[in-house]
Amino acid sequence: MSKKVLIVYAHQSSGSFNAAAKDAAVEALTADGYTVEVSDLYAMKFKATATAEDIIGEVKNAEHFRYAEETKVAWEEGRLAADITEEQRKVTGADLIVFQFPIYSRGIFKDKKVILSFTTGSPESMFSANGINGDMNVTLWPLQNGILHYCGFQVLAPQIFWAPSHIPSNARKTLLDDWRTRLQGLLEEEPLAFTSMDCFDGEGFQLKPEVHEKHATKEFGLTVGIHLGKPIPPHNQMKAGV
């Protein structure tokens, strides 16, 4: 029985290099005897938002819709929307999944500040360097550096609400009060520190020798991603001025 490959492809243009890379993968894998399926997300107009529309029939609690819980029940009862079950079929049957997509950036948002505000399902201790979810600074790096800073934004320290569903209502109220207080001065906050382009050469875009030398005796590296083989700086993605 041939192995199955799923290619999840996202690009607007059939004339793009991404399209060519997708086609090359289909051709090469098919020639090698693989069964290949392609999910062309743009062509499918695939709906990425997570809403009650993903469930067929009534939800258990419409007033306080909990997506994870409701879709788990819907999945167990066979009531997930057809577009989701079709993609689940592809993923379940695949031995290999290829994600084919571009990464864009023009750095056009340099005059704008941005902040991630989000809740977690686990307490802060589980997002530590020794926790099961790993260091939150590492989790945030591809989001805050790879997406937001990459596009030019000045990234403010994130607002993290640690596991609000597992704490009493008075504690949740305190979290919201603290958030309201922070919002009053948000635009005046110092952004997180990222390594500037001036620190890299113009050819291979590697750190300049003088930057290496400057940080050689320091305890921590520059950032989570550019750490020079040193320990990752603590709270680099969570606190400004670190």
CA dihedral angle for residue 83, residue 64, residue 238, residue 48, rounded to 10 degrees: 10
Structural tokens at position 33: 């005897």
Closest Cα to residue 41, out of 2, 78, 8, 64? 8
Q: What is the value of pTM for the model shown?
A: 0.74
pLDDT the model gives residue 108: 81
pLDDT the model gives residue 2: 82
- CA atoms of 216 and 61, how far apart (whole Å): 57
Task: Count other Cβ atoms within 10 Å, centred on residue 30.
Answer: 13
pLDDT the model gives residue 241: 62
Which segments of 3-158 are extended strands (E)? Answer: 4-9, 35-40, 96-100, 113-114, 117-119, 154-155
DSSP-derived 3-state class of residue 35: strand
What DSSP designation does 29 have?
A: H
Q: Which residue has the tokens 């990425």?
A: 48
pLDDT the model gives residue 91: 95
Identify residue 164 by its one-letter amino acid code: P
- CA atoms of 161 and 117, how far apart (whole Å): 8
pLDDT the model gives residue 105: 74
pLDDT the model gives residue 203: 83
- CA atoms of 38 and 96, how far apart (whole Å): 12
- Which domains can be identified in the chain, with CATH numbers? 4-100 (3.40.50.360), 113-215 (3.40.50.360)
pLDDT the model gives residue 37: 97
DSSP-derived 3-state class of residue 16: coil
Residues of the chain with confidence (pLDDT) below 50: 242
